[in-house]
Structure 1
Amino acid sequence: MKIDRVGDTDVRFRRNGAGSRAVVLVHGFLDDQHVWDGVIAELSSEDVETVQLDLAGLGERTEATGPFRLDRLVSEVIAVVDALNKPVVLVGQSMAAPIVELVAVARAERTLGLVLLAPIPLAGTHLPDETVGTFRALGGNPSAQRTLRQQLSTGLGEADLDRLTVVGCRVRTEVVSALVDCWDTGHPDGEKPSSYTGPVLVVRGADDGFVTAEVVVRGVLERFGDVETVTLDGSGHWPHVEQSSAVAALLDTFLTKTRPAGDTSRDVKSQQWTTAFAEKSADSFGKAFAEEVVLDATILTRPIEGRERVQQVMAAASGIYDALAFTHEATQGPRTYLEWKAAAFEGTHIEGVTILTKDEHGRIVRVAIHHRPLGATLRFSAELRDRLLGRIDPTHFHNGDR
């Protein structure tokens, strides 16, 4: 772990791990960067760096001077993204959802995806004056803050409530009031479709009485084109704290889906096999194969032989994956061993090892693919059978009807 700073400003950000991509996690109203610690501890994605920061006036920056406006908060996160100088997935909770969306629009060429947890709409909440007044009055009031968190969550334990209350009560009253104005007023771009066109994952807690299902549908989902939504049981407004393992698993899947096409770990050399998975075409796979190539796999009841048949199977198989990344490589003699992780069927994790055996000309003569877990393997086999009906004998695959 290391701490970096943006120029000579007070914007500092915490970096954990190393990788070709970064996950930038931005906290919500009255919170701090450490609300993400539980999620980060549960992440299993490789070749990914995690980045946390405190927004102006919050966390370790309670002495920051104003103004505390939305454009200032957005510009600070943009500065962090620029300092990283690598592709990013942006994650924001509650009032940080509008922040990371605007960052994604400003840095679309660098943003691989957007994850919004319990998202306040970019257009704002526009609450009644009385309700807004209640939120403004939270500054310096530990009893009111603790009560609010209890009302809006089902999974926050006593220790979580204690810590978050302490963090929130350090925020100056004028900062609390200004931030309420930020997320209640919103941004005019929230009244139209989002300018960010990349993949978006929206997560809300089933028991969140503030960001309700209706708020998410009307204020968030309808504004994005490529969007997926998940509702977590046993969670309210802080799913990343209440259900950190579940949120980490969702983030791992999203990271796999948003990995750049053909991207591999730095431990894996780019080669015809990995390129073929990125291109998902029979011709691309065929370029790597010898005429007499044999495919053996845990998704098959018996091997498939011959270049034409094997390349058809591999092209169809690559099309089933929502995403696939090769993570490790080892070579011994004519054999190359490739470990990989993938996502399919809108969220199912699949992992495995592929063994490629090559002849003296470097052409692949045998492919052995080992998938896990069993349930996903059987489902994959049945799906492949259906996609190849009329081209490959269906008895090569699992009969999903049994």
Structure 2
Amino acid sequence: MRTERVGDTDVRYQRNGSGDRALVFVHGYLDDQHVWDPVIADLTVEGVETVQLDLAGMGERTDASGPFTPDRFAAEVGSVADSLDKPVVLVGQSMGAPIVELVAAARPERTVGLVLVTPVPLAGTHLPDEVIEPFRALGGDRPGQRAIRRQLAVGLSEADLDRLEVVGGRILPGTARALADCWNNGHPAGERPSGYPGPVLVIRGADDGFVTEEMVANGTLKRFRAIETATVDHAGHWVHLEQPAVVAGLLDTFLATSTRGAGGTAQDVQPQAWTKAFDDKAADSFAAAFADDVVLEASVLTRPVESRERVKQVMEAASGIYDSLAFTQESSRGPREYLEWEATAFGGRIRGVTILVKDEQGRIVHVAIHHRPLGAALHFSSELGERLRGRIDAAHFYDGPR
């Protein structure tokens, strides 16, 4: 475990473990970074670093001054994500959920997954004054905070309540009011589809009387393109403290199946010359997998490309266009291998299937790559033509508007 700081700011974050990806955890209203400790302790996935931080006004930063706004919080969490210099999966609970969404939308190339736990909608809850006022008044009110937590949770232990009461009781009254207004008023970006195109997991407690199934459906789910949901029984608003092992298991599965970074390979896809070449993004790595007379056909090509030299140039250029690419499923039949994959490029998501045909020596003699959706395929073809200008005949690529 080690603690680092962003530049000369008061933004500090705790790093645990090591790996080629990082899980960044953001807490909710009146809480601190350590609410995630039980979940982190139950994670089993390998090769992932965990990162925690306190938001301004809470935890070890109760003396921080305002403004306490979604943009300010997103800028601070984003600065932590940037400092890690690796792909990240962002995890936010309650008011932390809209914060991590803003971070992900601003960094789609770095964010390989988004997990929203009992999420307040990015657009806000817009509770009327008589309903939001009790939340605004919780600063310094330990009994009031304990009562609210008991009301909205079913599985918090007395020890949990004791610790949360101490943590939340340190928050200044003026800060608590501003924080409540922050999640109640929301952010304008919540009124339109999310700017984050990657995989999303939404977790809620079955007994959460605040973030209800209806709130999630209307305020969160419809705004994302690729989303999974999970409801945890015997848990309310603090599902990560009430059922940490269940939440950790959901994160393990999400990490293993949905959130690989650039060149990632799913656990059920065996590494081979083709997948390793995408890891390297090097022409020679692709060339090593090909027969001399290899033929490449693709939905991003108007005609086939032939010969090892030309195909390796195309594949090197293509691999450089993807911000991330993960092979997710494979199967084989005789000399044919079928690989499903997911990628990000141009701020959006691309899916496809690659079919490889090999000779008796195991060298690839034919490649067929199918991209979807059509708009992304056309954009990809045009970009590929630009990158290969002067090396591969331009007639192989789409030349229309992007």
TM-score (norm 1): 0.69
- CA separation of 1:74/1:262 partners in 2, compared to 1, >3 Å: closer, same or farther? closer
Corresponding residue SS for 1:112: strand
Give structure 1 regions of 4+ aligned residues with deviation exceeding 3 angstroms.
Answer: 273-278, 308-312
Aligned residues: 298
Listed as ranges, the gaps of 5+ residues in structure 2 are 280-285, 292-331, 344-359, 364-402
String of CA shifts for 1:137-194, please: whole Å, max 9, x gaps.
1111111110110110111111111111110011111110000010000011111111
CA distance in 1, matches of 2:250, 2:334: 33
TM-score (norm 2): 0.69
CA distance in 1, matches of 2:278, 2:111: 22
CA distance in 2, matches of 1:201, 1:73: 21
Q: Which residue of 2 aligns with 1:196?
A: 196
Is residue 264–residue 270 contact of structure 1 (8 Å, CA) maintained in 2? yes
CA distance in 2, matches of 1:231, 1:165: 26
Q: Which residue of 1 aligns with 2:236?
A: 236
State the Cα RMSD in Å. Answer: 2.9
Is residue 20–residue 47 contact of structure 1 (8 Å, CA) maintained in 2? yes
CA distance in 2, matches of 1:103, 1:261: 19
Corresponding residue SS for 2:98: helix
CA distance in 1, matches of 2:112, 2:105: 11
The Cα of 1:68 is off from its aligned counterpart by 1.5
Is residue 21–residue 261 contact of structure 2 (8 Å, CA) maintained in 1? no
* Counterpart check, 1:206 vs 2:202: no
Corresponding residue SS for 1:178: helix
The Cα of 1:362 is off from its aligned counterpart by 8.5
CA distance in 2, matches of 1:264, 1:219: 33
1:5-20 pair list within 5 angstroms: 5-20=5-20
CA distance in 2, matches of 1:248, 1:288: 42
CA distance in 2, matches of 1:255, 1:137: 38
Is residue 127–residue 184 contact of structure 1 (8 Å, CA) maintained in 2? yes
The Cα of 1:44 is off from its aligned counterpart by 1.0
Q: Which residue of 2 aligns with 1:379?
A: none
Is residue 273–residue 288 contact of structure 1 (8 Å, CA) maintained in 2? no
Q: Identity percentage over the alignment?
A: 62
The Cα of 1:40 is off from its aligned counterpart by 0.6
* Counterpart check, 1:259 vs 2:277: no
Residue type of the partner of 2:41?
A: A
CA distance in 2, matches of 1:260, 1:246: 24
Q: Which residue of 1 aligns with 2:245?
A: 245
Q: Which residue of 1 aligns with 2:114?
A: 114
* Counterpart check, 1:131 vs 2:116: no
1:266-305 pair list within 5 angstroms: 271-272=272-273, 274-275=275-276
The Cα of 1:273 is off from its aligned counterpart by 6.7
Listed as ranges, the gaps of 5+ residues in structure 1 are 279-283, 290-307, 324-358, 364-402
Is residue 272–residue 288 contact of structure 1 (8 Å, CA) maintained in 2? no
Corresponding residue SS for 1:66: coil
Residue type of the partner of 2:153?
A: S
